[in-house]
Structure 1
């Protein structure tokens, strides 16, 4: 039961943190803002064309909307996966540093033993 609660808490933390990071990036990172604006512009153009061609090809508008949903989901999942791997990496690096420090201190006398 504790494991389930901890997993749910971590899942919520990851979602909240990823959302926070993307909001900050949207405000602080000009390259990210430019990429988001570019994607929005292209999607808007695609939707306009799909609406214009709807009588000739009624499935086009649905496909554009499905593509938008699919790419949005893929992007969200990729971001979440990357963030989770970052957490795993930080834990692994911390363990490796701890092991290294422990090895470095073995065999050395503490400063209090010096004459």
Structure 2
């Protein structure tokens, strides 16, 4: 579990360092995920090393949802003021996400069959 925790922490630190030094307008956590993917793809980190920490985090996932839910409740007046644009953006982005993921999956499956 320690190896997995260190790998995740190192990936997040890498993302933070990239944002700090390059000033890219991207979340450090996203860059950290990309760094973790690269580490897995290059076999610097083994999937088995991450299993214990990911299982632990998945078991306690509800705890990670409490702060965003509280934030929604405290800013309910802002949400009510812009409810229709927020709803439209959510629906349109969800549909676009499904379409893009579906096309990428079809493209990947087509590549495997060739």
Q: TM-score, normalising length from structure 1?
A: 0.31
TM-score by length of 2: 0.32
| Max Rg structure | 1
